[in-house]
Structure 1
Amino acid sequence: MTLIGENNFGRIKQEGLGESLAQLVMEHQSCHARVSLYGGQVLAWQPREQEEVFWLSNSSDYSQGKAIRGGIPLCWPWFGAHPNAEGAGNHGFARNVVWQLSNSLITEAGVELELVWQGENQHPQWPFKTKVVQKLVLGETFTQQLTIENQSPDTIEFTGALHSYFAVSNPAQVTIPNLDNVPFDCKLSEQKGQQDSLENAVGPLDRIYYFDQQMKIVDAGKQRVIHLMPSQVNNWVLWNPGQKTAAGMADVHAGGEQEYVCLEAANTQPLSVASGKSVTFGQVISVTSLS
């Protein structure tokens, strides 16, 4: 264990994660949280007097080259399969590289972290010199921002998502009312421009909604509402694999798909960044009781 910072409001320490990875552990008067430096991935956030907000699989593989199942994996610089390169791997490489802690601050309200990844020629489909800065503010509310800075001479295009796994009582007890009658593409049926009203969030579900306004996950079982305020995103992605698909996923513990719903602030359509410029997107999450 390495102590990163400490004061009267809380402390930040670095601990091992699995056999070879590292994580930041925050203990603060407003919340408890954990962030993996591998993947720059938020693993846990529990505000004071609330249950854990994010789901994390008991079967996650904490080893280099593997994606961690749960929390908030970073899908970047492409979302889903690469549009022009079959076999390039789903969701890019941001969740499979080591990020550096460049700044941290403990205030009365919470913990502020700045994580950075930068490089070039990281992937055959991404030769560009790029710097990505993730800013996190962890307190009674949760703020996440991802800034992509193009340091190459060419204009770049990317897609991406904050692949948030939200812990719920059961998807059958969950509604997401702000998605009712919003146009969506169904990746399972490959039908586009659909509309309906979801009675619950039971999988299999894999939908890209064309909507950029705030969301709320209403969980009757936990008697709470998770509020999501997006910033500079084009879409919401709703995903739950369902029992049959999850049974074939080695890193989802038995019954795990009954414990979460993924609602992802996303840009599934390409965003352009000119040379020397940057683009920022993110989300703010808060939790209230269901009354």
Structure 2
Amino acid sequence: MFERTIDPDGWGRCQGITSTGGRFTVHDHGAHITEWTPTPGAEPVLWTSPTARFAPNVGIRGGIPICFPWFANGRKDNKSPAHGFARLATWQLLEGVERDGGTTLRWRLDETMIPKLDGIDPERNRFELEVTQVFGADLQVRLALRNTDDVPLVVEEALHTYLTVGDVRRVSVHGLAGTEYLDKLTKAYNTQIGPVGFDGEVDRIYWVKNPIEVHDPVLNRRLVLTTHRSDNTIVWNPWVDKTAEFADMPDDAWQSMVCVETANVRDRAVHLNPGQSHELSLTLTVADL
């Protein structure tokens, strides 16, 4: 069950209650999920900043931003805006239906819907991007891309998932042991030994294993991320100093969130010839610790 509303500033959103009594919210702006709580009375699974900005050409801090057609500042660190234009665009809602005990929303974006922004080439490739979101006892997100141009298309993509945690200093991320990663803070490549812990800023791109589990002893739960056709997992927490640089995050917000992102970036960018398609998916499940 869901309701679609438009506020006085023209911001559209879909809000609903799942078959398990939980809640979800998705915005036209970026097809951006800002809320998913699968059961009544539970802590939200997704973290959205209480000071997030809802304005044109501004990304919403938290939830699940869709990064496309590049991640961060791109493979050569020369792209703007950060994380691409998809999260800044107004998407078209194609469908909202109740199906198999869950609510399914489908959204669409193509090159004619790209916002006018500095650094965006108006003659860039033609494409069709479709996002399907299924809200129920778990959360499923599928990102489907088709190259509708007559030339090859190369893009990065990510579901930049912000997760709510009780205290990130006590959280551990499992499933990445033995995996090579790029530490974006030091620019060095390393191999993960044991679970990922947090005692300072973390910003890492992993060459992925699957599934990934976030163990949270404070909230007594495991958040399980199972992906398909994702070659990278990105783990990020800004810690104290970086958080203080963000106008849309309270100074202590780093304690209650961690990003575990489903992605294809850098040397794992998606290459599509004319007419070819690609699909990336994430299933997010909550279990007891």
Deviations for 1:232-267, whole angstroms, at most 9, x for unmatched residues?
Answer: 010100000111110111001231111100000110
Match of 1:59 in 2: 51
Q: Deviations over 1:9-29 (max 9, x none)?
A: xx2112346844221101233
Mapped partners of 1:155, 1:161: distance in 2: 20
CA displacement, residues 206-256 of structure 1 (integer Å, 9 cap, x when unaligned):
001111411000000000000110110101000001111101110012311
Q: CA deviation at 1:177?
A: 2.1
Which residue of 2 is the match for residue 6 of structure 1? none
1:138 equivalent to 2:130? Answer: no
Q: Hey, what does 1:282 align to over in structure 2?
A: 281
CA shift digits 1:92-137 (9 cap, x unpaired) = 1110000011011113511011011112594318711111000111
Summarize deviations over 1:169-198 as a string: whole Å, max 9, x none.
011121112123321110001101343335
C-alpha contact 2:240 2:251 (8 A) present in aligned 1: no
Whichever residue aligns with residue 286 of structure 2, its letter is: V
Cα RMSD after superposing both structures? 1.8
Say if 2:246 is the partner of 1:249: yes
Match of 2:219 in 1: 222
1:43 counterpart = 2:41: no
Residue number among 1, 18, 43 corresponding to 1:28 in the alignment: 18
1:109 to 2:85 alignment = no
Give the direction of change, closer, same or farther, for the CA distance of 1:109–1:196 in structure 2 (3 Å limit): same
Identity %: 24
Q: Determine helix, strand or coil for the equivalent of 1:179.
A: coil
Is the CA contact 1:203–1:239 (under 8 Å) kept in the aligned structure 2?
no
Give the Cα separation in 2 of the matches to 1:283 and 1:132.
16
184, 187, 206: which is aligned to 1:187? 184
SS in 1 for 2:175: helix
Tell me whether 1:72 sits opposite 2:71 in the alignment.
Answer: no
Report the AA paired with residue 265 of structure 1: T
Pair 1:270 & 2:255 matched: no
CA contact (8 A) 2:173 2:214 kept: yes
Q: Does the CA contact (< 8 Å) of 1:20 and 1:63 recur in 2?
A: no
Distance 1:148 1:167, change over 3 A: same
Residue 13 (1) aligns with residue 3 (2):
yes
Matched residue count: 280
Contact 1:121 1:128 in 2 (8 A): no
Offset, 1:85 = 7.1
Look up the SS of the partner of 1:176 in the other structure.
strand
Cα 1:194–1:110 shift into 2, 3 Å: same
Q: Which moved more, 1:143-152 or 1:22-31?
A: 22-31
Partner of 2:210: 213
> CA, structure 1 residues 245+274, in 2 after alignment: closer, same or farther (shift >3 Å)?
same
Question: How far apart, in 1, do the equivalents of 2:256 and 2:205 lie?
Answer: 21
Normalised by the length of structure 1, the TM-score is 0.91
Is the 8 Å Cα contact of residues 230 and 280 (structure 2) preserved in structure 1? Answer: yes
- SS of the residue 1:57 aligns to: coil
Give the structure 1 partner of residue 117 of structure 2: none
Determine if contact 1:212/1:233 at 8 Å carries over to the other structure.
no
Unaligned runs of 5+ in 1: 1-10
Deviating more after overlay: 155-164 vs 198-207: 198-207
> Measured at CA, do residues 276 and 24 of structure 1 come closer, stay the same or move farther in structure 2, by a change above 3 Å?
same
1:149 paired with 2:139, answer: no
Stretches of structure 2 that go unaligned for 5 or more consecutive residues are 115-119
- Measured in 1, the distance between the counterparts of 2:76 and 2:225 equals 32
Q: Residue 172 of structure 1 aligns to a residue in which SS?
A: helix
Whether contact under 8 Å (2:66, 2:160) holds in the other structure is yes
TM-score normalised by the chain length of structure 2: 0.91
